[in-house]
A and B are shown apart, each in its own frame.
Chain A
Amino acid sequence: MKRLALVLGPLMLVACSPRVALEAPKEPITINLNVKIEHEIRVKVDKDLDALFEKESELF
């Protein structure tokens, strides 16, 4: 009996916890890939420039 309570107790608690419904938004999710790619290139160019500033320090 005690063991049953131990098993059922948590189960009931779980059963009683409120359900959070995640609904897909009506609008399709669009991710603007252009922005992401541009950002990635920017980061890469930034790195290349840092390397250039270090390597060719007499130019800057």
Chain B
Amino acid sequence: MKKTLWTLAAALMLPLAAFALNLDDAKGQGLLGEQPDGFLGVVQATPEAVALAQDINQKRRDAYLQIARKNGISLEQVANLAGQKAIERTPKGQYIKTPEGQWVRK
């Protein structure tokens, strides 16, 4: 019985394990980078990196929308400001996208 419970618990943990790639690692490994539009972009597409970017971008979008509504400006304006900030904060060696759409190592 106990063993079954453990197996069940382990099975439940599995989807979390698939998400084990965190953002810092993904950026550090050059899989994801910051874009001027305030969202993450995929530099090297691995299934994990793509899923992580999608998940985080959705959460970012929600957060931007909240700030946009609060201040009466558009989501795009907030996102662009956030993009500037995120690119500024990106440490050297990680990828950022230029306004022309090119990935460069900062």
Query: Chain A residues in contact with chain B, CB under 8 A?
Result: 41-42, 44-46, 48-50, 52-53, 56, 58-60
Contact = CB atoms under 8 A, between A and B. Distances in A.
Contacts, number: 41
B67 A52 contact: yes
Q: DSSP majority for the B interface?
A: helix
Contact of A60 (B67, B77, B89): B89
Interface stretch (B4-12, B41-49, B78-86, B95-103): B78-86
Interface in B28-73: 56, 59-60, 63, 67, 70-73
Question: Interface centre among A45, A46, A56, A58, by most B CB within 10 Å?
Answer: A45
Contacts of B71: 41, 44-45, 48
A43 to B, nearest CB: 10
